[in-house]
Chain A
Amino acid sequence: MDDALVRAGRALRLVLLIALALLFLVPFYLLVRNGLAGEEDITSPEWTFFPRQVRWGNVGELFADPSVPFARSLLNSALIAVATTLGTLLLASLAGYGLARIPYRHANKVFYAVLGTLLVPAAVTFVPSFVLVSSLGWISTLRGLIVPTLFPAFACFVFRQYFLGFPRELEDAAQVDGLGYWRTYWLVVVPGARPVFAAVGTIVFLGAWNSFLWPLVIGQDQSAWTVQVALSSFTTAQVVRLHELFVAAAVSILPLLLVFLCFQRWIVAGVERSGID
C-alpha cells in the first residue's frame, strides 16, 4: 500500500512537472507563432494555434526596415556582450586571484571596499554615472556602453571565493619552479579554473546582452542602439506592427538561447563548485 502511495506520488509529480514545463514554453511558442504570422492572423479574434500561412518573409522585412537599424543593433549587442565578457573575466579574475593569494597588508580593506559596492544599488549611481560617462564624451559610443560595466563586484567576489578553495599545492610547485605570480596565474591557475570562468562568463554575457537601462540612456544615437533598445523602440513607436515586433524579439533571443543551451551545464557546474551563493 505504501508502495502504491509512493508510486502515485511520483506519477503526480511527473504530471505536475510536465504541466509546468508546458506553461514555461508557452511564451516561446507565442514568439514563434506571432513572429511568423501575418498581421491579420495575429489580430484575428478567432484564436489559431498556428498561423494560417507561415511567413518566413517577416525575417527579411525586419532587416530591411529603414526606421530601425536592426542588423546594426544586433552587431552592437554582440560586440558589447563579447567585449564585456572578456574584459570582466580578465579584470575580475586577476583581482580575485590577487585578493585570494597575494599577501598584502591592506588586502582585507580592499576586499571590503569591493564587497561594499554589492550593497549599493545601481539606482544610487545611476544619474551621476550617466553624467560621468557623458563628461568623458562617451555618450553613444561603444566605450560608454562597455567600460563602465566591466567592474561587477559579484564577479570579483566569486573568483576570490573560488581561488581560496583552489588546491594550493599546484601553485606552490610552480613557485618552486621559479614561476612568479604572473606566470603561475596564466600557466597554472587559469587552466585549472575553467568551470568558474565559464560560469561567470555566461552570466556576464547574458547580463550584457539583456541589459536595458544603461544602453537606453547611453546609446542615444541610433547607431549605438543595442538590440534591447531597438526592441523597446518597436513597442513605443507610433505605429505598431505586431509581426515585426515578434519576429525581432525571436531573432534577438535566438543567439542567446544557443549560447545558453551550450553553456548551461557549465553554469550548473560552476555554481556547484564555486559556491556562487
Chain B
Amino acid sequence: MRRRGALWFWVFVGPFALGLALFTYVPLLWSVTLSFFDAHNTVTPTRFVGLDNYTAMLRDRAFVDSLRTFLVFTAFIVPVTYVFSLSLALMVNRLRTARAFFRSVFFLPAACSYVVAALIWKMSLFSGVRFGLANSVLGWFGGDPVAWLSTTDPPWYWLVIVTVRLWLQAGFYMILFLAGLQRIDPALYEAAAVDGARPGWTVLRHITLPQLRATSVAVVLLLVINAFQAFDEFYNLLSDARGYPPYARPPLVYLYYTALGQGQNLGLGSAGAVILALVIAVVTLGQARWLRLGRTDADG
C-alpha cells in the first residue's frame, strides 16, 4: 500500500518537480558556480577566481548605489502601496451601489502590461515636451514644461515611477484586501458597536487591521519582493539605445547590462544576482519576523 502511494505521489508530483528541478534548481546551482569563475563571454569558464567577483561587485559603486537606492525605494513604495490599496479596499467595501463598477475600474490596470503602462507614462502622460498631458496641465496654469524623466534636480522621475507602479499594482492588492475584509466575521463589528465603538479609526485599529493581519503579511511580502525585482517599467521608462542612466537603476537592470549586455561578464553578473538574492532573503525574513513579533505584542 505504501509503495503504491509513493508511485502515485510521483505520478502526480513528478512532472512538476522535474521541471522545477531542471528550470530552477539547475540554473540556481549553475549561477552560483559561475559566480566563482572568470566568465567573460562564456558559460563554461575554466579560471576559478574564488570570491573575486563578489568583492568586485561589492566594491562596484554603481551596483552598491543601485542596491541602496532600492532599499530606500522599497522602504517608501511598500507602505505607500499598502496604505493606498487598503484605503481603496475599505472605501469600495463600504459601498452599497456600484461596487462592482469601482472594483473593476481599480482592478483593470492589473491587466495592463508594464510595457504598455511605461509607454503611456513616458510618451504621453509625462512626456517632457509641451504636448504631454502633465505639461499641458502645467501650461494651463502658466507653468513651464518639465522634462519629467530627464530631470535629476528635483528628481521628478520618481513621481513618474511611483505613479505608474501604484496604477499597475494597487488594484491587485485591493482585491486581496477585499477578500480579507469579506472573511471578517460581522459579529465582531456588531459587538464593537454594542460596546459603543464608533465606526471609524477605533474600529479600524482594533478590529479590521488585526483581522487583516494574515492578508497584510502576504501583501507586504509580495510588495517587498516585487520592489527589489523591479525591471520592466524601469527598463521601458528610462533606458535608451546607449544604456541606462545612473539614477533609479534597479539592481536587476544593472545586472542585465553587466551579464547579458556587451560586457558579457557572466561571473560578475551571477555574483551580483546571488548578492541580490541574499539581500532579498534577509529583508523578507527579517520583515516576516518583525511582523510576527508585532502579532505577539498585539495578542499579548
B111 is contacted by which of A123, A127, A182, A260 (Cβ under 8 Å)? A260
CB-based contact B15/A104 at 8 Å: no
The residues in A between 167 and 206 inclusive whose CB is less than 8 angstroms from any CB of B are 180-182, 185, 206
Q: How far is the CA of A234 from the CA of B215 in the complex (A)?
A: 39
Q: Which A residues from 135 to 158 make CB contacts under 8 A with B?
A: 135, 147-148, 150-151, 153, 156
* In the complex, A1 has a CB within 8 A of chain B: no
Stretch from B56-64, B189-197, B227-235 at the A interface: B227-235
Q: What number of A-B contacts does a CB cutoff of 8 Å give?
A: 267
Known: A24-B105, A272-B182. A117 touches B20 (CB 8 A): yes
The verdict on A213 contacting chain B, using a C-beta distance below 8 Å, is yes
Structural contact, B102 and A21, CB atoms closer than 8 A: yes
Cβ contact within 8 Å between A245 and B111 = no
Q: Are A264 and B26 in contact (CB under 8 A)?
A: no
Contact status of A206 and B111, CB under 8 A, knowing A117-B20, A127-B273:
yes
Contact B12 A128, beta carbon cutoff 8 Å = no
Question: In the complex, what distance in Å separates the CA atom of A260 from the CA atom of B106?
Answer: 13
Instruction: List B5-53 residues whose CB lies under 8 Å from chain A.
Output: 5-6, 8-13, 15-17, 19-20, 22-28, 30-31, 34, 43
* Contact yes or no, B24 A125, CB < 8 A: yes
Given A128-B31, A212-B114, A105 and B6 touching (CB < 8 A)? yes
CB distance from B114 to the nearest CB of A (A): 6
Whether a CB of chain A sits under 8 angstroms from the CB of B219 is yes
What's the minimum C-beta distance from A133 to chain B, rounded to whole angstroms?
8
* B92: A residues at CB distance < 8 A: 17
Point out the residues of chain A lying under 8 angstroms from B106, CB to CB. Answer: 20-21, 24
Q: Measuring CB to CB, which residues of chain B are less than 8 angstroms from any residue of chain A?
A: 2, 5-6, 8-13, 15-17, 19-20, 22-28, 30-31, 34, 43, 88, 91-92, 94-95, 102-117, 119-125, 129-131, 133, 136, 139, 167, 175-176, 178-180, 182-183, 214-215, 218-219, 225, 228-229, 231-232, 235-236, 239-241, 251-252, 255-256, 259-260, 266, 269-270, 273-274, 276-277, 280-281, 284
28 A-B pairs with C-beta separation under 8 A: A24-B109, A26-B133, A27-B112, A27-B120, A27-B125, A30-B120, A30-B125, A94-B16, A95-B12, A97-B12, A114-B20, A123-B273, A125-B31, A127-B31, A128-B31, A128-B43, A128-B270, A151-B23, A153-B20, A181-B12, A210-B112, A231-B116, A235-B119, A249-B119, A259-B111, A260-B110, A261-B108, A271-B176
Given contacts A13-B94, A30-B124, A277-B215, whether A148 and B273 have CB atoms under 8 Å apart is no
